[in-house]
Amino acid sequence: MDQLQKKRILTKKSELLKVIAHPMRLCILSCLIDESCNVTYLIEKMNIPQSTISQHLSKLRMAGLIVGERNGVEITYSIANTEIISLIGLLLQDSEELSIISENIN
């Protein structure tokens, strides 16, 4: 692998990390790993405004981390990039931290 290829790969990975580096986006991703859901469900689970959820979903979608499937007027979101499941699993592997996160978003 030459230096240019290496730089491209590392740039792509750092962009991925930038996208998930926000606490709300990390929380959304952890919810979506558990199950596909719509905006209404995320609003109820995370207790934040619809506009905030939509902005974060847009960034995650543009980064290719999630996809939305339209069912009438409702869009159900799910994880598109399986690499992110492993990464978030590593970040949240501490069962005490995961317990705290789950309590705060329920």
pTM: 0.83
In sign, the C-alpha dihedral spanning 92, 21, 106, 66 is: negative
* Whole-angstrom distance, CA of residue 30 vs CA of residue 55: 17
pLDDT the model gives residue 106: 46
pLDDT band at 104 (very low <50, low <70, confident <90, very high): low
Please give the backbone phi and psi of residue 78, each rounded to the nearest 5 degrees, phi first.
-150, 165
* Whole-angstrom distance, CA of residue 42 vs CA of residue 27: 10
Q: Is 32 exposed, middle or buried (0-12, 13-18, 19+ CB in 10 A)?
A: buried
**Mind listing the pLDDT tens digit for each residue in 8-65?**
999 999 999 999 999 999 999 999 998 999 999 999 989 999 999 999 999 999 999 9
Residues 6+ apart with CB under 8 A from 98: 92
pLDDT band at 83 (very low <50, low <70, confident <90, very high): confident
pLDDT the model gives residue 97: 60
